[in-house]
Amino acid sequence: SQQGEEDPQALSIQEGENATMNCSYKTSINNLQWYRQNSGRGLVHLILIRSNEREKHSGRLRVTLDTSKKSSSLLITASRAADTASYFCATDRVIQGAQKLVFGQGTRLTINP
């Protein structure tokens, strides 16, 4: 079953606005990752945040992690049309003794020009 649950499922905003997507999970994690997927293409790794980190930045991306609430958020500032994509969180968990990544179902982000 999918551990990460993204919210909202879909988000549509105007170019230049900020976009915030959330991810909740159920069990303890070592790290949480965010990926982007352009339509029909492979996922691209954006950022990894470890369980002992609270915030991380990469260019226009800001990721926060609240382990007490078991949630993370991805903020994209000053959005551009090229940011239109689906965004997935992935959490690592141990399943039957193996360390694995579990992906959520994603947030579909549309940036309107």
Partner 1 sequence: EAQVTQNPRYLITVTGKKLTVTCSQNMNHEYMSWYRQDPGLGLRQIYYSMNVEVTDKGDVPEGYKVSRKEKRNFPLILESPSPNQTSLYFCASSEQGRGPQHFGDGTRLSIL
Binding mask 27-66 toward partner 1 (x if CB under 8 A, else -) reads ---xx-x-x----xxxxxx--x------------------
Interface residue with partner 1, options 8, 28, 100, 112 (CB under 8 A): 100
Which span sits near partner 1 by CB under 8 A: 19-27, 58-66, 67-75, 101-109? 101-109
Residues 72-91 that bind partner 1 (CB under 8 A): 88, 90
Cα–Cα nearest to 86, from 37, 48, 17: 37
CB of 40 to partner 1, least distance (A): 7
Query: Whole-angstrom Cα distance, residue 64 to residue 24?
Result: 12
Check if the beta carbon of residue 10 is closer than 8 Å to that of residue 60: no
Q: Which tokens in the block code for residue 62?
A: 């800001």
Question: Does the N-terminal peptide bond of residue 8 adopt cis geometry, omega within 30 degrees of 0?
Answer: yes
CA 7, CA 72: separation in Å to the nearest integer? 10
Binding residues vs partner 1 (CB under 8 A): 2, 30-31, 33, 35, 40-45, 48, 88, 90, 92, 98-101, 103-106
